[in-house]
Amino acid sequence: MRRISIFGATGSIGQATLDLIGRERESCHVVALSGGRNIARLARDARAFGAEIAVTAHEELLEDLREALAGSGVEAAAGREALREAASRPAEWVMSAIVGAAGLAPGLAALEQGATLALANKESLVSAGPLLMATARAHGGTVLPVDSEHSAIFQALLGEDISAVERVIITASGGPFRDWPVSRLARATLQEALNHPNWVMGQRITIDSASMFNKALEIIEARELFGFSPGQIEVLVHPESIVHALVGFRDGALMAHMGAPDMRHAIGFALHWPKRRELPVARLDLAQLGQLRFERPDEARFPALRLAREVMAAGGLAGAVFNAAKEAALDAFIAGRIGFMDMAVVVERVLAEMSSAGGLDGGAPTLDKVMAADHLARIKAGEIIAGTNRQEA
Ligand code: NAD
Ligand code: MG
């Protein structure tokens, strides 16, 4: 029996992971499942999969979770420390599918016990990539990408010598605002940002896709996972979302990974790696698709891409600051406190202010330093957002 835990089990990636695991129940033992406010879903799945423990992120919901699990034999727990404890329970394969920097501590705990970490939580790589990868190396853990683009790169690299790679190209759908002029982007509403043309995902990553902050995170994710230099990582807008990434080698060959836009491919690949097994994903009909388009992204309309380059150049704690400021700006946009284009303005100002205060150089990365930078960046972002509102009032 393979011991498996899923953090962020109630979300879009978590549910897709459970869908796959449910198809091979006889070979899997579920150790821990975690969720947030959706206690009913967490309890339902913990019962159905016979989990050892279910953890909600919210301490005030512990009693509700206990009640929902009464008589099931599943242990109930809540809060950050419980999440870390559950992640340090021995498991061979752990899915990291919490959204945001909150996924970092459980991811590290899983790697410390030598697990294979299927990493959907790109924010932890952006915030603390060197720490995460060093923790994996030190404890014999493995990090496998569960982002469609990074799984695609990983697959295109199988059997290749990474030193023969010239460049990688990650694709972006362009989201719902691909053709919008800046003037219209500035007025984009939450509902419009949530209207993704190709992928069904959690709310936060859907908005990040519309602003291309998702792609900005993914550029940094590619650097941290594979060690490419920033100049080797390119982005192309590809509205069909069929080619997920391409790897260019020094002989000019370009290996593309294609597939239907269904995260169960990247999740299933990580689940069965190093083998390939049958997966319940749609097969492509290229003749029916007819054509695939590629365009250069417009950094004037999507400044997040430029910011990602600046973050990589700055190094140190810039990734942690970038991610935290982005999370705060995203919360403010969702709450209707700032406009769509203000998100990048807020993030850029937080980076500039913390950089001039020397707050981006951290020396060797530790969890404490990353969390302190994250915390300060959220405070700074809060001040800037409050200022933006005052000016408008
Ligand atoms: P989601 O919003 O659907 O689910 C997020 C999960 O995290 C839920 O279980 C939620 O309860 C939990 N969570 C939220 N805040 C938490 C906190 N503070 N502490 C603990 N748990 C918390 O998100 P999703 O779309 O499934 O995305 C999950 C991760 O996977 C993200 O990092 C995202 O960038 C990445 N990802 C998602 C997709 C996709 O197609 N959905 C694709 C690639 C990468
Ligand atoms: Mg992606």
388 CA to middle of ligand 2, Å? 31
H or E stretch including 67? helix 62-69
Give the position, in ligand 1's atom list, of the atom nearest the Cα of 208.
34
Q: What is the pTM of this model?
A: 0.97
Residue with CA at minimum distance from ligand 1 atom 32: 121
Domain that holds residue 183: 150-261
Q: Are residues 109 and 157 in the same domain?
A: no
pLDDT tens digits for 278-308?
Answer: 999 999 999 999 999 999 999 999 999 999 9
Residues in the chain predicted with pLDDT less than 70, given as ranges, are 390-393
What CATH number does the domain containing 81 carry? 3.40.50.720
Q: Are residues 29 and 137 in the same domain?
A: yes
Burial class (CB in 10 A: 0-12, 13-18, 19+), 46: buried
Q: Are residues 6 and 95 in the same domain?
A: yes
To test the pocket of ligand 1, the residue of 61, 98, 327 to mutate (highest count of ligand atoms within 8 Å of its CB) is 98
Cis omega (within 30 of 0) on the bond before 197?
no
Paired sense of beta strands 53-56 and 142-145, if any: unpaired
Q: Are residues 125 and 192 in the same domain?
A: no
Structural domain total, the chain:
3
Q: Are residues 130 and 196 in the same domain?
A: no
What integer pLDDT is reported at residue 362 of this predicted model? 72
What integer pLDDT is reported at residue 130 of this predicted model? 97
Contact 18 CB / ligand 1 (< 6 Å) = no
What integer pLDDT is reported at residue 359 of this predicted model? 83
257 CA to middle of ligand 1, Å? 24
Paired sense of beta strands 243-249 and 254-258, if any: antiparallel
Q: Are residues 135 and 257 in the same domain?
A: no
What CATH number does the domain containing 364 carry? 1.10.1740.10
Q: Are residues 156 and 238 in the same domain?
A: yes
To test the pocket of ligand 1, the residue of 5, 7, 10, 12 to mutate (highest count of ligand atoms within 8 Å of its CB) is 12
Q: Are residues 128 and 186 in the same domain?
A: no
Residues 6 or more apart from 70 whose CB is under 8 A from it? none
Which position has the token pair 């001039």? 356
Edge-to-edge strand list for the sheet holding 233-237: 233-237, 165-172, 243-249, 254-258
Contact 53 CB / ligand 1 (< 6 Å) = no
Contact 45 CB / ligand 1 (< 6 Å) = no
H or E stretch including 168? strand 165-172
Q: Are residues 11 and 138 in the same domain?
A: yes
- How far apart CA 273 and CA 267 sit, in angstroms, is 10
Which tokens belong to 3? Answer: 């011991």
pLDDT tens digits for 192-246?
Answer: 999 999 889 999 999 999 999 999 999 999 999 999 999 999 999 999 999 999 9
Q: Are residues 236 and 327 in the same domain?
A: no
Which tokens belong to 198? Answer: 């190709």
386 CA to middle of ligand 2, Å? 31
Residue that finishes a domain, picked among 145, 169, 202: 145
Q: Are residues 15 and 139 in the same domain?
A: yes
- How far apart CA 324 and CA 99 sit, in angstroms, is 12
Contact 194, 204 (CB under 8 A): no
- How far apart CA 109 and CA 132 sit, in angstroms, is 10
